[in-house]
Structure 1
Amino acid sequence: MVSRIDRKRVVDTALRLLNEVGLDGLTLRGIAKELNVQAPALYWHFKNKQELLDEMATEMTRRMAGSLDGGPAAGPYGGTWQEMLLGSCRTMRRELLGYRDGGKVFSGTRMTDGAATGPLDFVMTCLTEAGFTLDAAVRAWWTAYNFTVGVVIEEQSVHPVPGQREIRDPAYDQSERERRIGAEYPLAAQAGREMFGDLEQGFEAGLRIIVAGIEATVGPDAAG
C-alpha cells in the first residue's frame, strides 16, 4: 500500500494548522482532515504526535538555518562575537515568533536530522576564532539560546497569535493584576509591567545582560 501523502506534506500542513489552532488544538485527526485522508494514513509517517512535533521542530530549524549560519538571509552581523551572538538570538526569536506556540514546539524536541549542526558549527567557529575555548563557547551559546527560547515561550503566552501584537491574552491585564495584588505586594505588582509590558525592549535588555555576563565570566577577555 502506497500512501497518498509524504512526510513533508504532513509537516507543512501541521505547521500551517498550528498557526490556526495552537499546540493544544493540533491533533493528528485534524491534520488528516486537512489533508483529506483518514487518520491512520499519518501513522505510515509518524507513530505518534511527539514524532510529528520532532519533525516540525526540525523543519522549523531547516527554514531558519540560512539565517543562523551566515547564509544569504543572515545579513551582516558585524565583526565581533558580541554582534554575532546578538544577531543570532534576534533571528531565532523572530523566526520562532512566526509560528503560534513556536517556542513550545521547538523546546524539548529532538532533531530528526542534522539541520541544526550547520548553524551550531557556525556559532562555535565564530566564538572560538574570537578567543573562546570550546567549552566556554558552548556555555555561552547554550545560555543565550535557552534565554531566547524561554523568552519566546513567555512572549507567546502574552501575544498568542503570530503577527498580531494587538491581541493580548486577558490574563496579562496589568491593571487588573495590580488592582488584585498591589496593596499587599506593591513591588511585585509594579514588576509585572516590566516583565510583560514592552516585550521587545525586555528581550533586548535581557540579551545584553547575557552578553555582558559572558564577557565578564567566560569571554576571551574575562578576568582570571
Structure 2
Amino acid sequence: MPRPRVPLLDRPRIRAAALTMIDSAGLPGLSMRALAAELGVRAPSLYSHYQTKDELLGDLAEEIMAGVDVSGFGSGWVDGVRTWARSYRGALAVHPNLVPVFASGPADRPGALERADTVHGALVAAGWPPRQATMIGASAKYLVLGAAMHSFSRGFEDDARVYADRYPHLSQAHRLREHADEIDAESFELALDAFLRGLVALHAGISA
C-alpha cells in the first residue's frame, strides 16, 4: 500500500502542534477543530488520542513540567525551595501562554501531584507545620507564576519622550526594554531571595 501523505497521528505529534499554536496565538487560539486543520486531518481523528481539549492541555502541562527539579530538598529546605522555584519559572517562561493552565492547580496530573507531595513532605520534615508548609508552597507558586506570566521590563515604551517631561523619575524607563531579560531574571532572584530570608527568620522562631 502507498504511504499516507500525512504522517500518522500520535500523541507527541498532536502535543507538539498544539504547543506551537498556543505559543503563537495563546490559549484562545487552540481548538480541536483548528488543531486538526493544522495537522491536516479531520477533528474526529484527534478524539481517538485526546477526548477533550482539557485532556490535551493536561498532557502538555505534564510534559513541560517534567523538568522541574525538586531534588534540592536533599540539601535542606531552603536550597530545595530555591531550586524548585528557579526550575519552575524556567519551565514556564518558555511557554508563558500556558501559565493559566498551571495556575489552575495540579488537578489529577500524576507528575504535578508527585512534585507537590515531595515539596510538602520535605517542608514538614524540616519542622514546618503542615498548614504553613502548604502556604509556603502556595506562596512560591504565586511568585513563580507572576514572574513567568508577564515581563515588567517590556511593559515600558522604548521612546524616551514618553517619560521625559511628565515622569521625571522614569527618565531611563525607555532603556528597560533593552535589558528586559536581565532585569526580569534579577527581579525574580531578588523576590525569591527576600522570600526565603523571611522564611528563614520565621522558621527560626518555630524551631526555638
Tell me which interval the TM-score lies in, with the shorter structure as reference length.
0.7 to 0.9
The structural deviation recorded for 1:211 is 1.2
Partner of 2:125: 129
Tell whether the 8 Å contact from 1:57 to 1:109 is kept in structure 2 after alignment.
no
1:51-200 equivalent positions in 2, closer than 5 A: 51-61=55-65, 63-64=66-67, 67-70=68-71, 79-108=75-104, 111-155=107-151, 172-173=156-157, 175-176=158-159, 179-181=161-163, 183-187=165-169, 193=176, 198-200=183-185
> 2: distance between equivalents of 1:113 and 1:138?
18
Matched-pair contact (CA < 8 Å) for 1:55–1:111? no
Residue identity matched to 1:31: L
1:212 and 2:208 are equivalent in the alignment: no
Q: CA contact under 8 A between 1:14 and 1:26: conserved in structure 2?
A: yes
Return the offset for 1:136: 1.2
Retained in 2: the 8 A contact 1:151–1:203?
yes
* Matched residue type, 2:156: Y
Partner of 2:109: helix, strand, or coil? coil
Pairing 1:28–2:32 present: yes
Instruction: Give the total of aligned pairs.
Output: 197
Partners in 1 of 2:106 and 2:51 — Cα distance?
14
The structure richer in helix per residue is 2
Closer, same or farther: CA 183–108 of 1 in aligned 2, 3 Å: farther
Letter paired with 1:30:
A
Do 2:17 and 2:35's aligned partners in 1 also have CA atoms closer than 8 Å? yes
For 2:32 and 2:63, the matched residues in 1 are separated by: 17
Give the Å deviation of 1:189: 6.7
What CA distance in whole angstroms lies between the structure 1 residues aligned with 2:31 and 2:10? Answer: 17
RMSD over aligned Cα atoms: 3.4
Structure 1 length as normaliser, TM-score?
0.69
- Paired with 1:46 and 1:113, the residues of 2 have a C-alpha distance of 16
Q: State the one-letter code of the partner of 1:85.
A: V
Q: Which runs of 4+ in 1 moved over 6 A?
A: 188-192
CA 1:205–1:28 in 2, change beyond 3 Å: closer, same or farther?
A: same
How much has 1:220 moved relative to structure 2? 4.5
Matched residue type, 2:45: A
- CA 1:189–1:144: 2 relative to 1, 3 Å: farther
Larger Rg: 2
2:3 maps to none
> Cα 1:139–1:133, aligned 2, differ >3 Å: closer, same or farther?
same
* Contact 1:15–1:56 (CA under 8 A) maintained in structure 2: yes
Distance 1:212 1:188, change over 3 A: farther
Asked if structure 1 preserves the Cα contact closer than 8 Å seen for 2:70 and 2:83, the reply is no
3-state DSSP class of the match of 2:110?
coil
Cα separation, partners in 2 of 1:183 and 1:105, compared to 1, 3 Å = farther
Contact residue 132 and residue 220 of structure 1 kept, 8 A: no
Label 1:221 to 1:139 Cα distance change in 2 as closer, same or farther (>3 A). same
The code of the aligned residue for 1:39 comes to: A
